Chain A
């Protein structure tokens, strides 16, 4: 069901099939491990089995003598190789404590999976065989697994820092500091909850893979990597290894999903490049899945203390948030900043005064580093406010839908300047919520619930909602600067019309499943009045697309796609000058429609873009001073984030005897502004919802007290299968963003952001008749059963 405003376009908004698919469907697509690199050496990394241990000695002699082995290195052997520690790009406070982190540890291992030595061999099998022959003597130290324990500094992980606390970042509203305490003192109702965002593993289906190919005599280095961020990677590898940036080329071949876990600069990327330089031959590495579980960043890992104040009508009057963020053993690329991406969203979609107080402390533990995972900070924020709203509704004895309606920012208030100073571009929360309620038969489920959830019932019905706002489309560079992020948030695009009127688009976005080639070709076709089939989209190779900031944070369309539209307009402006010259008309008298310029009022005086492209190429008859060829480049720095929103409603039935949660229906109403390709939008929401549902019901990286991951394989870590999840019922409202010429917002993370709280609100709602008021994630049969047993005592 879609509620839409008319926006006629022959291309935009159509369900165009993806041009990416044939190569992927037939096995032609080349992922990094598929590259044929004759003479390549294979890298394997020996990883610490201890969460926290001093490295006393590393004996590589037996491994070095193993068949096929070319070289073995300990962390100490390579210590002089690194020009700088591994990069972390987000020093959130000036006094943030950040330990030096190198691709291989040489004195101390800080998590299970921390690399301590590596082997180069003529085959992957030979390299892995030799790992067993490296003799590392460790002195085990106490693991630090629990966040609150870490905060006590009972065991300090990085002795030189003197504490496990890395930073405390506060968001207080200037001039309104006292208002929060006043609001809580005056509140008719308050809520105080503690939620845990369990650690999650992204489990992109393609594990990471790297290949570094040197050209010893040319001096250049090509790094192939299963990465979301070839452009960022290029700069960071150059800086870390002291390679002149213009001699580094990074290519992201076909990439099998990322979800934030490939938004990073990893030890293995640096090792492959460094060793390829040293040995003068290609070096490649492929991650095994169980290695991925510990050596690739994990997501979430927060304890949230959430307080709401409300007046007698349930109108929110203040929000106070305290977070502990588990950073793991070290910081990776944006570890410290992930919670900040949610810091502005703990009031959700609600109209609150300037009474907002947020504080986050980043804490080191002896676990795998955390970093961005689909939604990065925003799912955590949405979960906190949306679960707390249900608690408030329960406290007041009113329906949670009713409570939300009393607090929504109203349609008329947009663009809405929030208490933080951020401007929410557009929204209609009430419309999205009402559409979702209608599609989910909200009132009908409530009525059924009254008859079904009677004392002694073994199947309890629950319905839960979440209404979300997402701050995405990262990001205005100046806002990033104010958050101390080290880079900008612009995106680059080049549109080049070839002499035969075929078009090349060069984008700095780097897709790994999102269908950019299809979507970008549609934007260009719409703008230039040509067929999408005549548009080639070039990306993910820094030699072809030298400028870019890559794909994460639902930024590709609202930043990269908009840059492409603007580059098209720039090309059209130039073409217009040529058309005016050749048609002997004034530029102002020309109209561009359907791929042709026409003199207003003289339909016979017309010139198609195809003819102009050829004229621009031959340059025989151009206006004085105009450069030949039709090409334009735009670097677009967005003036604002984009603010997609929506309401999700989940209906569950819980078996009280087994604790099993069955999702009976999942309705997602999302609004991402104008849709370029609804087929792709729907796919993004489906996948996002299931990832959020997976956090709610299935997934958790479980560690023992020694800091060992207990479920580090796909046999034990419960990525849902088709049989574990339902079909998703989708609805859309369309509220264009006024801040960009396409009226678009991002959609990559929305599903995940909306889903976990909707599912958990449904679960708690179902169990509320037993007196249960909260449930830890995941709501696994075991956890639910335990809660039911506890409640019945």
Chain B
């Protein structure tokens, strides 16, 4: 099936198998491998990206469902060679270790702050419960998100 999607500001016209998941399309057809796959049950959130401005798990939808949508992946978050404030906050607060969950976590966190610009620690923890991390124990992820919120 033919689809047209705007990814990180570039329009892509593609022919995809109907069963192709959005995450596979982004990774394999577009070569944007920053979006990771960590599970097969839509549990881990490693594949989170922004679809029309909202964080979605890109393994929960088909590429054809994204036809006409505007997508931002982790590769599109930094602007003009400058990391996004959320990316900077993760770096400054050691919010990542192995980095595999990180792109999804950052995408989910930026989306969270868009909905709730001044969350409490509790709200950050609940807001990120769809994204799993095995390295940090979340302590510094929460700290990063709160720092990014404070900087906004």
Asked if B74 and A27 sit within 8 Å, CB to CB, the answer is: yes
Asked if A714 and B91 sit within 8 Å, CB to CB, the answer is: no
The residues of B that contact A202 with a CB separation of less than 8 Å are 134
The residues of A that contact B90 with a CB separation of less than 8 Å are 21, 25
The residues of B that contact A125 with a CB separation of less than 8 Å are 19
- A125, B136: Cα distance in complex, Å: 33
Shortest beta-carbon distance from A701 to chain B in Å: 15
A679-B94 contact given A289-B38, A722-B125, A727-B142, CB 8 Å threshold: yes
A26-B34 contact given A205-B101, A723-B126, A725-B137, CB 8 Å threshold: yes
- A691, B137: Cα distance in complex, Å: 7
The residues of A that contact B77 with a CB separation of less than 8 Å are 26
| Contact mask for chain A residues 731-746; partner B; CB cutoff 8 A; 1 contact, 0 none | 0000000000000000
Q: For B103, give its contact among A17, A27, A259, A690 (CB under 8 Å).
A: A27
A680-B33 contact given A25-B106, A205-B100, A254-B99, CB 8 Å threshold: no
Q: Which of A693-719 contact B (CB under 8 A)?
A: 713-715, 719
- A459, B6: Cα distance in complex, Å: 53
- A268, B141: Cα distance in complex, Å: 33
- A683, B43: Cα distance in complex, Å: 24
Judged by a CB distance under 8 angstroms, whether B129 is at the interface is yes
Instruction: How many A-B residue pairs have C-beta atoms within 8 angstroms? Tell me.
Output: 180
Shortest beta-carbon distance from B50 to chain A in Å: 13
Most chain B Cβ neighbours within 10 Å, of A125, A254, A289 = A289
Judged by a CB distance under 8 angstroms, whether A405 is at the interface is no
The residues of A that contact B139 with a CB separation of less than 8 Å are 686, 690, 727-728
The residues of A that contact B58 with a CB separation of less than 8 Å are none
Q: For A686, give its contact among B34, B125, B129, B136 (CB under 8 Å).
A: B136
| Contact mask for chain B residues 96-122; partner A; CB cutoff 8 A; 1 contact, 0 none | 111111110010000000000000010
Asked if A22 and B91 sit within 8 Å, CB to CB, the answer is: yes
A713-B40 contact given A513-B135, A686-B137, CB 8 Å threshold: yes
Shortest beta-carbon distance from A32 to chain B in Å: 11
A714-B92 contact given A256-B98, A687-B97, A719-B132, CB 8 Å threshold: no
| Contact mask for chain A residues 201-222; partner B; CB cutoff 8 A; 1 contact, 0 none | 0111111000000000000000
The residues of B that contact A204 with a CB separation of less than 8 Å are 98, 100, 134
The residues of A that contact B36 with a CB separation of less than 8 Å are 31, 205-206, 256
The residues of A that contact B126 with a CB separation of less than 8 Å are 722-723
Shortest beta-carbon distance from B86 to chain A in Å: 9
Query: How many A residues, CB 8 Å from partner?
Result: 58
A514-B97 contact given A25-B83, A723-B129, A727-B139, CB 8 Å threshold: yes
- A513, B135: Cα distance in complex, Å: 8
Asked if B94 and A20 sit within 8 Å, CB to CB, the answer is: no
| Contact mask for chain A residues 1-35; partner B; CB cutoff 8 A; 1 contact, 0 none | 00000000000000001101111111111110110
Judged by a CB distance under 8 angstroms, whether A139 is at the interface is no
- A24, B134: Cα distance in complex, Å: 15
Asked if B97 and A515 sit within 8 Å, CB to CB, the answer is: yes
A24-B43 contact given A687-B137, A722-B125, A727-B139, CB 8 Å threshold: no
Judged by a CB distance under 8 angstroms, whether B128 is at the interface is yes
- A723, B126: Cα distance in complex, Å: 5
A24-B46 contact given A33-B33, A205-B132, A713-B39, CB 8 Å threshold: no
| Contact mask for chain B residues 77-88; partner A; CB cutoff 8 A; 1 contact, 0 none | 110000100010
Q: Which of B31-64 contact A (CB under 8 A)?
A: 31-44, 46
A21-B137 contact given A27-B103, A289-B40, CB 8 Å threshold: no
- A687, B98: Cα distance in complex, Å: 11
Asked if A721 and B132 sit within 8 Å, CB to CB, the answer is: yes
- A655, B121: Cα distance in complex, Å: 23
- A29, B103: Cα distance in complex, Å: 11
Judged by a CB distance under 8 angstroms, whether A137 is at the interface is no
Asked if B40 and A728 sit within 8 Å, CB to CB, the answer is: no
- A722, B36: Cα distance in complex, Å: 19
| Contact mask for chain B residues 5-44; partner A; CB cutoff 8 A; 1 contact, 0 none | 0000000000000010000000100011111111111111
Asked if B128 and A29 sit within 8 Å, CB to CB, the answer is: no
A714-B124 contact given A25-B96, A205-B133, CB 8 Å threshold: no
Judged by a CB distance under 8 angstroms, whether A682 is at the interface is yes
The residues of B that contact A574 with a CB separation of less than 8 Å are none
Q: Which residue on chain A has the smallest CB distance to residue B123?
A: A723
Shortest beta-carbon distance from B137 to chain A in Å: 3
- A25, B128: Cα distance in complex, Å: 17
The residues of A that contact B27 with a CB separation of less than 8 Å are 34
The residues of A that contact B132 with a CB separation of less than 8 Å are 205, 714, 719, 721
- A688, B137: Cα distance in complex, Å: 7
Q: Which residue on chain A has the smallest CB distance to residue B46?
A: A205
Q: Which residue on chain A has the smallest CB distance to residue B34?
A: A27
The residues of A that contact B124 with a CB separation of less than 8 Å are 722
The residues of A that contact B19 with a CB separation of less than 8 Å are 125
A257-B100 contact given A205-B132, A719-B134, CB 8 Å threshold: yes
- A289, B106: Cα distance in complex, Å: 22
Judged by a CB distance under 8 angstroms, whether A284 is at the interface is no
Judged by a CB distance under 8 angstroms, whether A512 is at the interface is yes
- A723, B128: Cα distance in complex, Å: 8
Asked if B41 and A289 sit within 8 Å, CB to CB, the answer is: yes
- A727, B124: Cα distance in complex, Å: 12
Q: Which residue on chain A has the smallest CB distance to residue B141?
A: A722
- A289, B44: Cα distance in complex, Å: 10
Shortest beta-carbon distance from A98 to chain B in Å: 31
Nearest 5 Cβ contacts at the A-B interface: A27-B34, A256-B100, A24-B99, A513-B98, A690-B137
5 contacts between A and B (CB under 8 A): A27-B32, A206-B36, A207-B38, A688-B137, A714-B44
